[in-house]
Structure 1
């Protein structure tokens, strides 16, 4: 169902605005063994985010690493590289390393995340924003575990734990004379960029029947986000939203090809950048279209803006609004058509409207539709998440899927957020059918709620 729809995107543009950001290049960490017979082991590490947004610094401020390895069980962590496994990670242990001025922190992640208990994954997702908000000069890296790295961790853990039985004098002597694994970063270092260019895509399908046609705008931001950029896949948030938008563009481009089904609505598709950074790409796009041009579809008759965000799983769909739509408006029509399609065709789905006012005092907006609401455009966001605060929107744990055979229990869901392709396909069908009913005014024409526009022949 999800085919490429690039043919409908006839406009591309780049916009730039002040945003200090760091370009991250995966570094190579070299572990040098104290034993002559042991060879050095190299493995890739991924640095924690570092950026400044609206004058507020986030993440680690340093990248250089050349120090001896320890685990958090050691008595003395100062100027040591502290290795932590995700399975044993806690914020208290992490803070202990920072308080003792560790030389660096390396957090190792299992290759098979689905093997991790759900509570550990959930705890780490909730801690990621706190880790980023705690500005530190201690370099923080992440690495994927392999057999050699696990062996090094086990040896380091044994050495670190034994220090707990030593006297204070023995600990100092051991610290001065011990020959542990030396951890050294090599390769290109990260460079700061103060003027980051954000690329967004815009495409449109022109309606037929007059000049002042209403316009429906469909929006999805394409960014992924997590504590480490190179490990941030953003499969559900917001790869699922972009996939849905592209599929909607493909489906409606077919309808708009034929004279009989060419509707009296303009359809505007917008894939935005900078979504995870307070929707900066959308902000600039609105400024370009509303403040810096004499003619724009956004300045004319906008029926509504539908933002698609995190729709790749779950049996719930929530329409997040800043103002409840008034009866008789196109926004109200979409709300009712979504309710009708769900109740008539997909009764397993629970649909609801969530009302939350825009809080301009907050540093970060909750949903993308609030960018449009600030400019007095009628907008809402559709998501399977009931709240914008859920940690999976900003996590390196947001991956596409895992195979059933890799799950740690029969019938159990995989740990962490993931994308269920069947549910993403179903949710796309719900949105497509509801939009079609609005565009072709099917309810007022007496069409039954279970009428399907996008049949097998259509898709």
Structure 2
């Protein structure tokens, strides 16, 4: 619960105050200053349209976010999208905060008697842990020509997002773009697998995982359950691996086909492989393919990001405006063409390096890719907001059923004795702002009332004396 007076960071005293800061003026030093002065709460005001913000401001906040998450504090931190009313409150609070720091004592007293302030109030129960939360993942497959014993290629993308404020975590690039690309790949290869003459000798499984931002819990549980049964932003594309692939292996072939497709069809793309060993001493894995690597399955991650430490992966600034749909389309096409060359063994069969498979009626649909991404980024997708009955899950399931066979759900619940993750309720609060006079105004008003009552008392007690004095003065004036 919160019931404190509003101030901006410019005020001299922040103790037990609700500190309002706009994104453009926010910094970690200012945040630390509010904590040092024992502020009652901090409200960070974000613009409705992030695309209008300068890129350096967005980048600065993304770099601060991990520090905010790592800073342990009892001070509640709120994030609010700005509107006219909130901006008016901030403007008036800023004026009051600045004037108090530069005025004389008399001016401060006068300002106190005349100015209006705002009391910020929230109510609600204490946040509680949700003990029975399920993380949902979805699986669908295309069965190759020759039965179930064929080698299987698994294409994975996690759908959940992450950021310092769950209700503002839209995860456009991480990983809305990955899910949009996966669904487009499912559509393309389902058409190839419809006809016998284009049916490949590989099973392809598509896995949309949940809990990706919580150490890839959906993939971890799926591998545990199925181990005995299973075999857009810039001009860079990276293949992240835990172990460099050996020659004459399918993964080596895929690496070479990616190089072939990018060099022949998209020379502007800088493609390279990045090798990073799995660090089991770390609490969090770097990439989702490491879940497979731990189980000794050959796997890799294709990403436009060079490092797993890129701040965009865990930021509320990962918005739709950050995605260039044309480059996402190009990168999806690179993956689709390279994968097709692998499963049809086109290089060994002597097919030209510049051969295109997905053309004419079989080409990628940029409009559909864009529509799926728009839909995904129109809603926050933090894992603690998406239960098994959510519209997001049912819509993803519907999309996968259009193209794939045997679509089914997988659920993950935290271990009750040693939970791998723990979610809490009360992720959104309504804050009311009441226009009030500052607290010291009550004291001044009380003094004025006391003085008035005291004067009235003296007049009543000495009415005869005062009456005689007034009468004498009046008579003297008449005589003159």
TM bin, normalised by shorter chain, reads 0.7 to 0.9
Please state how far the C-alpha of 1:172 moved relative to its aligned partner.
11
Please state how far the C-alpha of 1:210 moved relative to its aligned partner.
4.7
Which whole-Å CA distance do the structure 2 matches of 1:332 and 1:82 have between them? 55
Instruction: Indicate the residue corresponding to 2:336 in structure 1.
Output: 432
Which whole-Å CA distance do the structure 2 matches of 1:113 and 1:367 have between them? 27
CA contact (8 A) 2:171 2:316 kept: yes
Please state how far the C-alpha of 1:145 moved relative to its aligned partner.
1.3
Unaligned residue ranges in structure 2 (runs of 5+): 364-480
Please state how far the C-alpha of 1:380 moved relative to its aligned partner.
0.4
TM-score normalised by length of structure 2: 0.72
Q: Which structure has more helix as a fraction of its residues? A: 2
Please state how far the C-alpha of 1:186 moved relative to its aligned partner.
4.7
Cα deviation, 1:177-214, whole Å, max 9, x if unaligned, reads 98620011257875431332100000111111255311
Please state how far the C-alpha of 1:232 moved relative to its aligned partner.
0.9
Aligned residues: 363
Q: Which structure has more strand as a fraction of its residues? A: 1
Instruction: Indicate the residue corresponding to 1:158 in structure 2.
Output: 95
Q: Structure 2 matches for 1:324-403, cutoff 5 A?
A: 324-401=244-321
Which whole-Å CA distance do the structure 2 matches of 1:246 and 1:184 have between them? 44
Which whole-Å CA distance do the structure 1 matches of 2:124 and 2:324 have between them? 38
Please state how far the C-alpha of 1:280 moved relative to its aligned partner.
1.2
Which whole-Å CA distance do the structure 2 matches of 1:155 and 1:245 have between them? 49
Answering whether residue 209 of structure 2 is matched by residue 209 of structure 1, we say no
TM-score normalised by length of structure 1: 0.75
Give runs of ≥4 in structure 1 deviating > 4 Å. Answer: 166-179, 186-191
Instruction: Indicate the residue corresponding to 2:443 in structure 1.
Output: none
Superposed CA RMSD in Å reads: 2.3
Answering whether residue 354 of structure 2 is matched by residue 446 of structure 1, we say no
DSSP 3-state at the match of 1:382: strand
Unaligned residue ranges in structure 1 (runs of 5+): 1-63, 301-311, 402-417
Instruction: Indicate the residue corresponding to 1:423 in structure 2.
Output: 327
**1:318 aligns with one of 218, 233, 238:** 238
DSSP 3-state at the match of 1:457: helix
Answering whether residue 235 of structure 2 is matched by residue 296 of structure 1, we say no
Cα deviation, 1:28-51, whole Å, max 9, x if unaligned, reads xxxxxxxxxxxxxxxxxxxxxxxx
Q: Which has the larger radius of gyration?
A: 2
Q: Structure 2 matches for 1:214-253, cutoff 5 A?
A: 214-253=151-190
Please state how far the C-alpha of 1:155 moved relative to its aligned partner.
1.1
Which whole-Å CA distance do the structure 1 matches of 2:234 and 2:21 have between them? 32
CA pair 110-171 structure 1, distance change in 2 beyond 3 A: same
Instruction: Indicate the residue corresponding to 1:26 in structure 2.
Output: none
DSSP 3-state at the match of 1:68: strand
Instruction: Indicate the residue corresponding to 2:199 in structure 1.
Output: 262
Which whole-Å CA distance do the structure 1 matches of 2:146 and 2:17 have between them? 71
